[in-house]
Structure 1
Amino acid sequence: MATIDLRTEIKEFLTSRRARITPERAGLPAYGGNRRVKGLRREEVALLAGVSVDYYVRMERGSLAGTSDGVLDALAAALQLDEAERDHLFHLARQSRAPGGGPRRRRPAATVRPALQQVLDAITEAPAWICSSRYDVLATNHLARALYSPVLADPRRPANIARFVYLDSEAAEAFFVDYDRIAVDVAAKLRMEAGRNPYDEDLIALVGELSTRSELFRQRWASRDVRLHRSGRKRMHHPVVGRLDLDVESLELPSEPGMHLTIYTAPAGTATADGLALLASWAASQEKLVR
């Protein structure tokens, strides 16, 4: 993949969202039993969004330049987009409005300020790290290094979680209890980032690498699904301390666009809390060996 084509992104995203909605789900009568299209017809989407058929067809062909936020809101409602999908639509529209579409660009190498590393190091009882929106691991505390030791075993730096999930799938399946869900989420969050920064050369290169080397990634990428970085639960099987069911909080850093601080915790008195304590002890012993 040499580039991420914005018009194609818009066309395939809108087409895929339209295809999943039946007339019944949209509250429309379904006349006749032999519909030639999967999901809604273009004219049905136009009716629901309150725009002309020609206008909707132009949007679905990849042109969102000049589309007002009000029309985008109406389109999001007509297609029953969730929060992540709505944000993705607005990202695509915003990029369409950029003069000339914008050049491909390589971002400066992401670096974590010393003060942020101090924040990580001050979190002593929970794994915490900072990642980019492309899943590059940019900084860790000692417990995160221990927790994600299978990911960090790759000598390439920065280590990248998406590469681990898709290109070292045997190790990833052993590590992530819910591997299938993780694989879906990683591809969907990369797709979200592609809508936000379609001319980011490093992102283009990562997507190209994964597309070339992983059939599973190609399938997930083709779904056009998107996800937000959110809190939740992650279940892991650590090679040293065993099963860990961790609560995850992921926070976007306003002062560092594209960076996310993620912290893993467990309720006191649970087996996972005991596992984290054991992990801390193991991590300390490993650091002593290194010294």
Structure 2
Amino acid sequence: MDHQDDLSQFLISRRAKLNLQQVGLPDYGGRRRVPGLRREEVALLAGMSAEYYKRLERGNAKGVSESVINGISRALQLNSAEHSHLLDLVRAVNVGASSQRRAAPRKTQLSADVLQTISAMSTVPVFVQNGRLDAIATNDLGRALFSPMFQDQSQPVNAARFIFLDPKAQEFYRDWEANAHQIVALLRAEAGRSPYDRQLSDLVGELSTRSNFFGKLWGAHDVREHRTGTKSVHHPLVGDLDLTYVGVDLSVDRGNQMLIFSAEPGSASHDGLQILAQWTRTAPAQSPVDKLAHHSETRRDS
């Protein structure tokens, strides 16, 4: 990845999202050749010279202080995820490619204590993923919920690969396009945190080559954090489910995040999860993927 170009394009993309009215600057009319704010206007809002900001937007972040980054964040009205991403991009540019050889491999297995905890959470679906969105672990109900994803035989199972390359994803996610935007924004944020992750670079390259829509979203440079939200899915066994989730970073297994899903008590989605949980418990010797395949075959035969 070209870290200077990533920094440059991120700043340009954030500047393009703002207008004079949003930042409280007067509009004297006249034609503007580019969307959003001009570099000079960002510099004014950030309290620095136009030449200094231009140098930074060209990807030259040498010696940039945290106070300068904070000023730019305020000027561009960055949210917390975008501010963290800007810090990561500046750090990547300053550290340089020489650190690539020192980059530690990311953990792909969880500690026994975490696995035990996940297994004990039997009433809610649990899905653990790393920053690349590889599926690291699930409990039985989590695997049953995301059975369509686990039908992919390629390893590791990956949420981004599923949503952009597997036709079943558009049937599974009722708001597929919103999920696609979210997935790319999560990968963008991870690319800033882990600039020398070769597997992440390979994944981005594969998705960019095989999905034009992914390439378009990747070029938007949007980032986000995975903390809480909703998922609306159509499960092939229990139908439509409207779920909320909470993302918990695992301090004992850094770089991995546990997503815990639930449904409003008394709702049809809650009933659907209960049915799925009961169905999962009745045949523990058979994996949810095998059950789903068997169920699909039975439906076709009937």
Paired AA for residue 140 in structure 2: H
Aligned residue among 143, 154, 157 for 2:155? 157
Show structure 1 runs of 4+ deviating over 4 A: none
In 2, Cα distance between equivalents of 1:213 and 1:100: 28
Determine the C-alpha separation between the residues in 2 that align with 1:38 and 1:49.
19
Alignment length (residue pairs): 287
- One-letter amino acid matched to 2:18: I
**Matched residue, 1:7:** 4
Q: Matches of residues 58-97 of structure 1 in structure 2 within 5 Å?
A: 58-97=55-94
Aligned to 1:111: 109
1:284 maps onto 2:281 in alignment: yes
Instruction: Supply the AA of the counterpart residue of 2:249.
Output: E
**Residue aligned with 1:264, SS:** strand
Instruction: Quote the residue 1:140 is aligned against.
Output: 138
Find the counterpart in structure 2 of residue 265 from structure 1.
262
Q: Which moved more, 1:203-212 or 1:95-104?
A: 95-104
Whole-Å Cα distance in 1 between the matches of residues 196 and 249 of structure 2? 21
Q: Is the CA contact 1:175–1:237 (under 8 Å) kept in the aligned structure 2?
A: yes
Partner of 1:128: 126
User: C-alpha distance in 2, partners of 1:8/1:97?
Assistant: 13
User: 1:230: Cα distance to partner?
Assistant: 1.5
* Residue identity in the other structure for 1:16: S
Percent of aligned pairs with the same residue?
A: 43
Matched residue SS, 1:287: coil
2:250 is matched by which residue type in structure 1?
A: L
Q: State the SS of the aligned residue for 1:103.
A: helix
Mapped partners of 1:220, 1:97: distance in 2: 26
**What 5-or-longer segments of structure 2 have no aligned partner?**
291-302
Q: Deviations over 1:238-272 (max 9, x none)?
A: 00011111110111112222100111112222211
* 8 Å Cα contact 1:177-1:236 kept in structure 2: yes
Deviation of 1:106 (Å): 6.9
Letter in 2 for 1:151: M
In structure 1, the gaps of 5 or more residues are: none
1:74-107 CA-to-partner distances (Å, cap 9, x unmatched) read: 1001011111111110111122231556326572
Cα separation, 1, equivalents of 2:229 and 2:119: 23
SS in structure 1 of the partner of residue 284 of structure 2? helix
Does 2:249 correspond to 1:252?
yes
Which residue number corresponds to residue 181 of structure 2?
184
1:161 maps to amino acid: A
CA distance in 2, matches of 1:276, 1:99: 48
Q: How many angstroms apart in 1 are the aligned matches of 2:193 and 2:72?
A: 19
8 Å contact kept, 2:106–2:255? no
- Rounded to whole Å, the distance in 1 between the matches of 2:205 and 2:265 is 43
Query: How far apart, CA to CA, are the structure 2 residues paired with 1:57 and 1:102?
Result: 27
**How many angstroms does 1:66 deviate by?**
1.2
Counterparts of 2:283 and 2:133, CA distance in 1: 26
The residue number in structure 2 matching 1:32 is 29
SS at 1:102's partner residue? helix
Query: What letter matches 1:253 in structure 2?
Result: L
Q: Secondary structure, in 3 states, of the residue corresponding to 1:63?
A: coil
Single out whichever of 212-221 and 22-31 deviates more from structure 2.
Answer: 22-31
TM-score, normalized by length of structure 1? Answer: 0.94
Root mean square deviation, CA, Å: 1.6
* 8 A Cα contact 1:121 1:142, kept in partner: yes
Instruction: Classify 1:94/1:289 alpha carbon distance in 2 versus 1 (closer, same or farther; 3 Å).
Output: closer
- In the TM superposition, residue 109 of structure 1 has moved relative to its aligned partner by 5.2
User: TM-score by structure 2 length?
Assistant: 0.91
Instruction: Choose the corresponding residue for 1:216, options 213, 217, 235.
Output: 213
Q: In the aligned structure 2, how far is the partner of 1:135 from the partner of 1:146?
A: 18
**For 2:95, which of 95, 98, 111 is the aligned residue?**
98
Task: Measure how far apart 1:14 and its partner are.
Answer: 0.5
Are the aligned partners of 2:235 and 2:241 in contact in 1 as well (CA < 8 Å)? yes
TM-superposed deviation, 1:129: 2.0
The 1:272–1:253 alpha-carbon spacing in structure 2 relative to 1, beyond 3 Å, is same
Q: Is the 8 A contact 1:151 1:161 kept in 2?
A: yes
